[in-house]
Structure 1
C-alpha cells in the first residue's frame, strides 16, 4: 500500500493506494489505472495493472484484492482521472480472495500453507503484504480442493474468504 497526500481546491487529503507488486499478467507495456474504493474506506483506491486495447478500453492484468465486480482479463473503460468507469466485457474469470486474521499467532504458517495449496493446484495468484491472497479462477477451474481447506481454516477463525465474479 502507498499513502499519498493529494491537493485539492479545498485543501489536502490522504489517499491510500493498494498496489500490486507482482501482477499475474505483468507485461512490457502495462498501463496503470485506479479503482475507487472510497465506498469501503474514504480516500482508498486500488491500482490495477492493465493492457491498453483500442478505443480507450483496458484489459485487467492483475487480480483485484478489494475491487468487486472486476476480475482478471475483464475489459473496462476509464474516466479522465484514470479511474474505472465501467466494465464493458466480462471474461468469465472469478477471483477467490482470502484475508488472514492479522492477530492470529500462526499467521505466517497459514501463509505458507495457503501458498503451498494454490501453487500445488497450479492456480495463478497474488499476495498483498503476506496477509491478503487473490487467486484467479479461470473459466472451468474447479477450486473444490482449495475451498475445502479454506472452509476448515475459516471455521477455526483464522481466515475470511470469498469468491467474486
Structure 2
C-alpha cells in the first residue's frame, strides 16, 4: 500500500492506493483511485521515501469515471440505486466509497456513453458531479 498526496486540496490529505510491487522502485496501481488525478488502474508509479507517489512512469490506457453524489440532495439514495444498477449492467469494475463516491474503471476501448447518458440529467440539476480522468 502506498499513498497519493492530496495536500493541494486540503492540508494533510492523502489517498491510500493498493498496489502490486513490480520491482524495488515501481508499483502497479491495483485499485480505482477516487481522488488522485492522473493515476488510474494498472498505471505504474514510483514513490518517495515516505511511500508517497512521486511520478506516474507508465500509463496503462485505463481511465477512471468518477461520480460524486451531492450528500444532502433529496434524490441521493434513489440516484445511488440507479447508478449501482446501471454500472452493474455494464460489468465494468467499480467501487463505491461511503455510498456517495463512485469510481468506474474504463479499460482501453471501453465506451462510457451509456453511463454518461444516465449521469447527465442529474448533473444538470446539481444532484451529482462526474468526470473522466486518464
TM-score range, shorter chain: over 0.9
Structure 2, unaligned runs of 5 or more: none
Structure 1, unaligned runs of 5 or more: 1-31
Q: Are positions 1:105 and 2:74 aligned together?
A: yes
Larger RCO (alpha carbons 8 Å, 6+ apart): 2
Q: Distance in 2 between matches of 1:90 and 1:147?
A: 23
Deviation by residue 1:5-33 (Cα, 9 ceiling, x = unmatched): xxxxxxxxxxxxxxxxxxxxxxxxxxx00
Q: TM-score, normalising length from structure 1?
A: 0.80
The alignment partner of 1:161 has SS state of strand
Give the match for residue 11 of structure 1. none
Q: Distance in 2 between matches of 1:105 and 1:164?
A: 27
User: Aligned to 1:156, which of 103, 114, 125?
Assistant: 125
Give the match for residue 93 of structure 2. 124
Give the match for residue 107 of structure 2. 138
| 1:24-39 correspondence runs (5 A) | 32-39=1-8
| 1:1-165 correspondence runs (5 A) | 32-165=1-134
Deviation by residue 1:29-63 (Cα, 9 ceiling, x = unmatched): xxx00000000111100000000002310000011
User: How many aligned positions are there?
Assistant: 134
Q: Distance in 1 between matches of 2:122 and 2:81?
A: 13
Which is higher, the Rg of structure 1 or of structure 2?
1
